Structure 1
């Protein structure tokens, strides 16, 4: 690798401030900001039913709701590389302040959206704010604490995902019970204000003697490439399907743009984003493993939500309460991971965590209409513990493999694995789920009118609605059976693809000499 900038301790604008007197206060601010970013990615799910209502919400269609959810992750993933480069160029403190301002401002506009299109656009701007915040927060927790405490700091940072998973559905349900739906976005304002005050008071500058030159062309290629790829994946999971030009063209264009980006960056002496960071086996192997893990997690949580609310008949708030078990497990696994790694080594601790999580993904093969809720809670708790045991040590190892001056770029890649993996998981596994449902429900459509048949084919939720209108409880039962069949098929794919994550861990995390 070429020579990379390192922080120095002398005074001056281009120098890092070291010897932070209260590093854990800076970590606390970074963790709170990261929790806010992830909360915005989970809290909307509980409000989708309200937003679809023309009286209580916006009367949004199912496609519009899908894009309201996806636009955040799409821009978050595409903009993460730019956020990391900006953090390296201007320092994580300044980028963190900018990201919080963008997030708070766009959330305010989203709260007062008058139609679904406006909501989709403002959610995209919220994703841009998150793309600035996440790599900056990881750079803070990776560099400010003493070296001996950094693994613990990253474990706490990684726990923010579990906290967000727990708070999102519950906080959203409580707000929707008492206020207008826009309250779920206005929640950002007081939290962002606390974070901004904390950054100003408690987070010092962390700049580098050789501040990296911005590369607008390279950033544009990375953002357009990632955006086009993710867009195509989202379309593939929807009505157009994987063989549609609406899917194939953007996916191929995204791949071509990303390949061009890599070639351009490799040819520069001081690239805006050094793709040679992937030459570090632990960094590249960890990226693949985390991508596959979040692929399985997001896809599984997607069909779990429909299972709990559709097949089991739980309210959104009750379903959210059940799913908080996964969050509790993630936090527990994060905190126990340092001790487990000392006992088993990082390599085998993460392999064990992936295997535990994959086993819980496969547990859906045994779920039916009468499975006790307590078993589901236990499964989600164990699942979260397995995932938590992987994320913290994996992230710490990946960041430790990077030169100090490139923590922002490395943090951007690390952060991008989550939304990219999640988007892939929902798109691919959602497509498998839909295809399995349509195949299984066909025998129940024989004597239905054409308009009702089309609605029943759309989803199990639509089938239950048609069953109520037509007074045919047997159709609702058939929809539940078809969904359970589809969920079993999706669970097999989730199990297999998630287990594939152990291969890069075994290959790349060999003991250091």
Structure 2
């Protein structure tokens, strides 16, 4: 009896040899996209300062400088993944980086808040093509058995970027003008472009089928309307506003039309039958819920450390280091936990750990020892690492390698929409609870100032500073009102993380018996059949 021939690996040997160097280039590209989103947080105060120090941006203009990026980024992610599958991921990566670099240079030289908002949208256009392509290329340079390890390192890179953004921003603002937080992207983009041309191979779907312009248009319009409605609801701190409800409803209707159209199309952009796979759908839901909770907590944590505790932007950024350190330590190793306990236990316990740390924020006061915050951040990072890595592996391996761009884009779209919802919904909870808590303390202020001072803790402290010694009486009530609002918001985030854990425990696969491990791979790709 002859031994059957061993199938040759699908990855070319020349590519296989340099796969770790390629991963390094992909992480450099990913770094600037994620870093830029977090770096802006520490520059908000400076940009709101009148010229020449800043741009004199209003609260609404600052929100749209952040939201314009989120809106364009989330709206185009899915379409960008499809284009990468069709025309080639390397081409899309290079083009996206060029657009992102040009947008960064223009944003650094903005002469008004309106220009900054427009250039941030241009940066997001480039970033939308970079983010899904990095994970799609990764899936095409690593064999299946190495993909969990590579995805773990990739996920650790996301955590690193989230943490070093505020630190980098703080250092730059200490020594240069506000535009430096955008200009820093340009040399990194040039380095990434050079390395990418040299090292990264191109890949695409060999059978992409016919174009689906109607499906693409419906996905973009639906996602933009949905995310815009979410952002607007958070901005108004009122999700019952008719404009907000109408926009969100319109987005959901268009997305429903997209699903119906794709089910009936003989050349769909997205094979919606993938979502019949409970494992695939549960992984998508878990990653959306974890980012909902995480983005909401990082939003109020910045105000807690700077406004209540009095730390500088740089110091606040340094306080986030344990979060990044935990992700860098645990994300590449999470696959070992999955091998031992399975996706269900690893992801579910990770979400429960995140829920516990969110609940811990409900006990924080103005004089809580700062080392407690550091421990909480570290454990949050550990929990998140054990959610991101296994869910990303499940999502990416559930679709054929040729559809890696679509899988990555779907994963990132759910992540971005979850994060936007987290900031909008939990931000709205924070704002409403703060206003309720501070209103009774502003009775002695003139009517105009009273409305301004009630918007946020920053607004209250700003009014207090303008009033001089008389304003000192507002500081303690502002801190108390914010802490109460933070406690309420943290508990809301806790509930969301617990829901994510329930989804994981109910639908993600457990650890298969040793003899069935090969069979599990077939189950994970069942959605593609």
Shift of 1:18: 6.7
If the length of structure 1 is used for normalisation, what is the TM-score?
A: 0.95
Pairing 1:110-509 to 2, within 5 Å after superposition: 110-239=107-236, 241-470=238-467, 471-509=470-508
> Would the aligned equivalents of 1:333 and 1:387 in 2 still touch at CA under 8 Å?
no
**Cα separation, partners in 2 of 1:162 and 1:410, compared to 1, 3 Å:** same
SS at match of 1:284: helix
Q: Which moved more, 1:462-471 or 1:49-58?
A: 462-471
> 1:74·1:419 contact (CA, 8 Å) conserved in 2?
no
Q: For 2:271 and 2:157, how far apart are their aligned partners in 1?
A: 28
SS of the residue 1:238 aligns to? helix
With the length of structure 2 as denominator, give the TM-score of the two structures.
0.92
- Aligned partner of residue 366 in structure 1, secondary structure: coil
Structure 1 residue 405 displacement after superposition: 1.8
- Measured against aligned partners, the alpha-carbon deviations of 1:113-135 in whole angstroms (never above 9, x if no partner) come to 11111111111111111110111
Greater Cα shift, 299-308 or 337-346: 337-346
Q: Which moved further from structure 2: 474-483 or 204-213?
A: 204-213
Residue 506 of structure 1: how far off its partner (Å):
2.0
- In terms of mean alpha carbon deviation, does 25-34 or 335-344 score higher? 335-344
Provide Cα deviations, 1:275-303, integer angstroms capped at 9, x if missing partner.
22222222211110110100000000001
Quote the Cα distance in structure 2 between the aligned partners of 1:282 and 1:398.
Answer: 8
Structure 2: distance between partners of 1:222 and 1:246? 21
Find the counterpart in structure 2 of residue 70 from structure 1.
67
Alpha-carbon RMSD across the aligned residues, in angstroms, is 1.8
Shift of 1:453: 1.2
Partner of 2:523: none
State the 1:211 CA deviation. Answer: 2.8
User: Aligned partners of 1:212, 1:139: CA distance in 2, in Å?
Assistant: 18
Shift of 1:307: 0.6
CA distance in 2 between partners of 1:207 and 1:17 (Å): 15
Is the CA contact 1:368–1:484 (under 8 Å) kept in the aligned structure 2? yes
SS at match of 1:35: helix
Conserved 8 A contact 1:283-1:399: no
In 2, distance between residues paired with 1:48 and 1:212?
45
Question: In 2 relative to 1, CA 276–16 (structure 1 residues): closer, same or farther, beyond 3 Å?
Answer: farther
Is the counterpart of residue 45 in structure 1 residue 41 in structure 2?
A: yes
Moved more, 443-452 or 280-289: 443-452
Is the contact between residue 151 and residue 332 of structure 2 (CA under 8 Å) also seen in structure 1?
Answer: no
Change (3 A) 1:352 1:496: same
Deviation, 1:359, is: 0.5
Specify the alignment match of 1:4 in structure 2: none
Correspondence for 1:5: none
- Deviates further, 312-321 or 173-182: 173-182
